[in-house]
Structure 1
Amino acid sequence: MSSTLRQWVDEAENTVIFTGAGMSTDSGIPDFRSPGGVWTRMAPIMFQDFIASEENRIEAWRRKFAMSDELGTPQPNDGHRAVAQLVANGKVSAVITQNIDNLHQDSGIAEDKIIELHGNGTYAVCLDCDLRHELNDIRSAFESDDMATAPGCQNCGGMVKAATISFGQAMPETQMKRAEAATLSCDLFIAIGSSLQVFPAAGFPVLARHNGARLVIINREPTELDDTASLVINEEITPTLQNILRLDS
């Protein structure tokens, strides 16, 4: 199956890669939705609840920094580097990701090639003026106040939130439009490490297939879209991606 995928990548004029949580598990980042994941241990704070209550905002930031301490500083794995090499080789025009870990950027892929559907967890933004805030600055102020006050924007005083898309929050319109355009322009769409259960993001592989592109799904477990796919590879992600580049080790 890897040889077929290599051939299809060579033949394709425009390949788009779509990544989910399984892309980053080899970097030590667990899938939040898997058994034992974060969302099986605690209920997520809905966006409307974050907005409505300072107590919820304080709890959201407390969780954010506790999780950061638990994860440490994850680094790109060989799968990320393989994707970056495909981009550098001109084989991949866009990387659409559900991940918020910034590891595609850290692997060397330019920002304009990455489409983040669920935001980015490595910085924060003001919900009123959109000013970017660095997490280290927020954490210093938050902890110096004994976590008694939710972080606010130094520019306008608005609410500051991690730059991720929370449950109940609207999807980012610009990123969704970019993802749709990339999907409609490709002749090969490779979905990697995603259960393909979270919509609207999971609609892009379906859109690609309906538009005539080959759809490849690489995931350790079966997905609900396997019957739609042109090729399904239920194998470890990193070695599968290395095989595309003939970088087996």
Structure 2
Amino acid sequence: MRLMNDKAPLHDFISQHRQIFVLTGAGCSTNSGIPDYRDAAGQWKRAQPMTFQAFMGSEAARQRYWARSLNGWRRFSRTQPNRAHHALARLEERGKSALLLTQNVDRLHQAAGSRRVVDLHGRLDRVRCTACGETIPRQAMQEALVGLNPGWTEREAAVAPDGDVDLEGADFDTFAVPPCPSCGGVLKPDVVFFGEGVPRERVEEAMRALDEADAMLVVGSSLMVYSGFRFVQAATRAGKPAAAVNLGRTRADSLLALKVEQPCADALSFLL
């Protein structure tokens, strides 16, 4: 692996390949004001996010999650794409992107103009019933939460990575969570929690696109989660070179042909 601090080798890497399979992670959205999860060594910066098992198994966990999300959604829903998102949209405009597979749930790639996008871990702007499968807009959930819990939106708190906030020390016992309007089931954000499997059809669509590509580019992901790391493994097995833009260690460092340790927006600025 070549470790670089300038963008010229990345420019050459992109120029030399016809179709590039792009995978993005939290580092792509930090310049939009959404915090990332891990430090330069790939370790958690905070407590591990909510697990699927905890959310489904405990009303108290759901109260805590939705109370934090109620406060955080106001800011999260107003975030805008940054130069990294726009640069990757430009890559697609030039016909160089086979697919953009994102681990992020913020939909900022779509807002920047990218069209061929797979949201590997789902999307936070939608809520799904775990019983009947009905989906509703996250904004509709927000209005229901505000109506049931007046005063909670006025609490000041630090922004967290998943569109929520840190509300340490708050009493969540009286926080009311609305049920599914159709069947009364448990409502969950339409994202893949830790401990929950990624839908097979998303993985299969991404793998087909990787087959079409002749190289892979990772942007802003440490790849510590297997759901993303597997695609670098697949590219390596197929003899396709992989490059990464990431500040700090990735799980795939030994598999990379090139790594650029710069902020994503800076490293990709030549595409703009």
Q: Does the alignment reach a TM-score above 0.5? A: yes
Aligned to 1:88: 93
Are the counterparts in 2 of residues 121 and 163 from structure 1 also a CA contact under 8 Å?
yes
1:9 matched to 2:36: no
RMSD, matched Cα:
2.0
Q: In structure 1, the residue corresponding to 2:60 is in which secondary structure?
A: helix
Q: Percent identity?
A: 31
Question: How far is the alpha carbon of 1:71 from its aligned partner?
Answer: 4.5
Match for residue 148 of structure 2 among 128, 145, 170: 145
Are the counterparts in 2 of residues 222 and 234 from structure 1 also a CA contact under 8 Å?
no
2:117 and 2:219 map into 1 onto residues whose CA distance is 15
1:29 matched to 2:34: yes
Matches within 5 A, 1:118-197: 118-146=121-149, 148-197=175-224
Q: Deviations over 1:48-91 (max 9, x none)?
A: 22222322222211121223245462110011001001111111
Q: In structure 1, the residue corresponding to 2:227 is in which secondary structure?
A: coil
1:223 matched to 2:250: yes
Question: How far is the alpha carbon of 1:128 from its aligned partner?
Answer: 2.5
Number of residue pairs matched?
240
Question: How far is the alpha carbon of 1:210 from its aligned partner?
Answer: 1.8
Q: What are the ranges of 5 or more consecutive residues in structure 1 without an aligned counterpart?
A: none
Per the normalisation by structure 1, the TM-score is 0.88
1:95 and 1:156 map into 2 onto residues whose CA distance is 35
1:8 and 1:89 map into 2 onto residues whose CA distance is 15
Q: Structure 1's 166 and 224: CA in aligned 2 closer, same or farther, altered over 3 A?
A: closer
The one of the two structures with greater contact order (alpha-carbon pairs below 8 A, sep at least 6) is 2
1:94 and 1:19 map into 2 onto residues whose CA distance is 11
Per the normalisation by structure 2, the TM-score is 0.81
Q: In structure 1, the residue corresponding to 2:228 is in which secondary structure?
A: coil
Aligned to 1:117: 120
1:205 matched to 2:208: no
In structure 2, give the amino acid aligned to 1:118.
H
Are the counterparts in 1 of residues 98 and 210 from structure 2 also a CA contact under 8 Å?
no
